[in-house]
Chains A and B, each alone.
Chain A
Amino acid sequence: AQTVTQSQPEMSVQEAETVTLSCTYDTSENNYYLFWYKQPPSRQMILVIRQEAYKQQNATENRFSVNFQKAAKSFSLKISDSQLGDTAMYFCAFMDPMNRDDKIIFGKGTRLHILP
């Protein structure tokens, strides 16, 4: 079965620092999609970044970037110049589009605190 592991339950960093959230996954497939979702205290789930496995280039969205290591099955999220509004729960997610019996799988999340 495909799995997603986030090994850091909670992290804290000072405002303006850079922080990296780790995510590893397990699959035997070659084509798939990976996501990072943010859940602020409002509870709304927001897509942060999306990566297509067949693209070698790491995805970036403003201050957010990923380090996608396909061979190592690693998909870490880097937040640069962190802001107070980045305080949230972050979920890594995996999607195998070709397997009808497999679902969009989420990790257990990392709670990130940005300290003033």
Chain B
Amino acid sequence: NAGVTQTPKFQVLKTGQSMTLQCAQDMNHEYMSWYRQDPGMGLRLIHYSVGAGITDQGEVPNGYNVSRSTTEDFPLRLLSAAPSQTSVYFCASSYSRMLGEKLFFGSGTQLSVL
């Protein structure tokens, strides 16, 4: 199984550019989420989804959009990149939050906004 596939691994953007971070899982997981990791801040939730067609905001949603048109895919869109969005981004999924199932993480995207 591929698990959670996250692309790209590295990206450099200029301020104001837009881009999409891709995330796909092949485990038929209901729950998918995006986190950003910053030094000294741990992992902070950006957006999450409990199933196809359902998305919700996390702790730090501003400047990001998501959609969940299929069970497998959960892309994260940066609308107009800002230096404050320089971070490591992780996509994560789990079979069921209700059952307290563990999160499966992608390998992360190192994003730099100049």
The answer to whether A35 touches B107, judged by C-beta atoms less than 8 angstroms apart, is no
Q: Mostly helix, strand, loop or mixed at chain A's interface?
A: loop
Interface residues of A in 75-116 (CB under 8 A from B): 91, 93, 95, 97-98, 100-101, 103-109
A52 to B102, CA, bound (A): 11
B74 interface contact, C-beta 8 A: no
Whether A44 lies near B107 (C-beta < 8 A) is yes
Q: In the docked arrangement, what's the CA distance between A32 and B105, Å?
A: 21
Contact partners of B48 in chain A: CB under 8 A: 103
Number of B residues, CB within 8 Å of A: 25
Write out the residue numbers on chain B whose beta carbons fall within 8 Å of the beta carbon of A50. 100, 102
Interface members, chain B 4-55 (any A CB < 8 Å): 33, 35, 40-45, 48, 50
Tell me if A97 and B98 are in contact (CB < 8 A): yes
Chain A residues with CB under 8 Å of B98's CB are 97-98
- State whether B99 touches A107 (Cβ < 8 A): no
Chain A interfacial positions (CB closer than 8 Å to B): 6, 9, 32-33, 35, 37, 43-45, 47, 50, 52, 91, 93, 95, 97-98, 100-101, 103-109
Further contacts, 5 of them, CB under 8 A, given A35-B103, A44-B108, A50-B100: A9-B40, A44-B105, A44-B107, A97-B97, A103-B48
